[in-house]
Structure 1
Amino acid sequence: MTPPIHLISQGLVRERQRAGLSLAEVARRAGIAKSTLSQLESGNGNPSIETLWALCVALNIPFARLMEPESKRMQVIRRGEGPAVNAEHANYQATLLATCPPGARRDIYLLTAQPGSQRCSHPHTPGTVEHIIVTQGRALVGPEESAVELNPGDYICYPGDIPHIFRALDSDTLAVMVLELPG
């Protein structure tokens, strides 16, 4: 079992970075010493519930989020995989690729790309998630350090708040991009 301070330290770092705040700013907002926050983020110390509550208020997150392990942030679903349901009276199948978290906003784009230079995107707003479905051609897509080659019908989601790429590998590559923005 993971010790609570380990989960708390991971949660503090994750949520502070997601909020785009410095160590000093979070400490100031929570009314604690910067050194105390630094120790907690390093996995040292035994914070009181009052300190943790103050940090949650400073980060504008629910208390339980500090105790949650990091969720899987990248997902790839190949064509023909994923949870699917069939229609009773038609040759029709729906495969669930992603759900939308409460309070989020989604914008939908059709991407057209040619081989050559790749599209390098800087990090978007903290908490942004990109969903891509290749419909024609092939592309290398995802975080710069772990991009994945996708074929027609393949799906990927990844954090849009880190540097990421889209590189067409075939002429006239088409993809649908859903940009999920925090509420």
Structure 2
Amino acid sequence: MSESDLLVARNVKRLRGERKVSMSALALQAGLSKQTLSKIEQGVGNPTLGTIEALSMALGTSVRSLMTEWGSPVRVQSSSAAEWQSGLGGDIRILDQVYGSGYVRSCMVRLEPSGHDRARDGLSAGSIYQVLVISGDAEMGPEGQTVRLAAGDFVKFPADVPHILRAIEGTVVLHLITSFPQVPQVMPFGDPR
């Protein structure tokens, strides 16, 4: 299974679910067999560009939206499990890769402990945080799924849901990368995002 096949699988399954369309109905609309659609949603279908185009039309979206990462499961990479590779005249630690289109903001963040741990509001649909803890101990992640991190730990999680970024004790310094999709996602009526 390639990463791009898994990406298409996640997006087709998610969009079909959001639109409350059965697998049979989507397959018929896209001119595919139900078995072919099932394989695509499992990430083992290796769809052609023509198949992706047919699915995007049947789902009322663009090919680009099927090839763009929307949201993300929480993924932690502890400093003790980090793998370093030689390259670029030194050692490289790959933290993550994001596929799709949009824009990326990279910044350093200093957090101080505060008396309130209220979750922050989610960002625009499809936004993702990738965080490397430079120093200190922090807690972060989607509300109800936070993880505790120390210096050198990395986490990736959806930023489009209520989430927490907080220092546990003392000053925490983070390298925070925020990815915002360029392609607007189809949203229910009345949703301001």
* TM superposition score normalised by structure 2: 0.62
The question of whether the paired residues in 2 share the 8 Å contact of 1:134 and 1:174 is answered with yes
**One-letter identity of the residue aligned with 1:86:** S
Report the counterpart of residue 157 of structure 1 in structure 2: 156
1:86 corresponds to: 86
In structure 2, relative to structure 1, the CA distance for the partners of 1:87 and 1:128 (3 Å cut) is: closer
> SS of 2:110's equivalent?
strand
| Length-normalised TM-score, structure 1 | 0.65
Q: Partners in 2 of 1:61 and 1:71 — Cα distance?
A: 17
2:15 pairs, out of 12, 15, 36, with 12
1:73 alignment partner in structure 2: 73
Instruction: Work out the CA distance in 2 between the residues paired with 1:45 and 1:105.
Output: 34
Q: Which residue in the other structure is 2:106 paired with?
A: 108
Q: Deviations over 1:90-111 (max 9, x none)?
A: xx42110012424232111211
The one-character-per-residue Cα deviations of 1:74-123 (angstroms, maximum 9, x if unpaired) are: 2100113233213698xx42110012424232111211111122363211
Unaligned runs of 5+ in 1: 1-6, 17-22, 24-37
Larger radius of gyration: 1
Letter in structure 1 aligned against 2:79: R
Give me the CA root mean square deviation.
3.3
Change (3 A) 1:60 1:134: same
Structure 2 unmatched runs, 5+: 1-9, 32-53, 183-193
Percent of matched pairs sharing the same residue: 17
Cα gap change, 1:147/1:13 in structure 2, threshold over 3 Å: closer, same or farther?
farther
CA distance in 1, matches of 2:11, 2:149: 36
Paired with 2:173 and 2:16, the residues of 1 have a C-alpha distance of: 37
Q: How many residues align?
A: 148
C-alpha distance in 2 between matches for 1:109 and 1:119 = 22
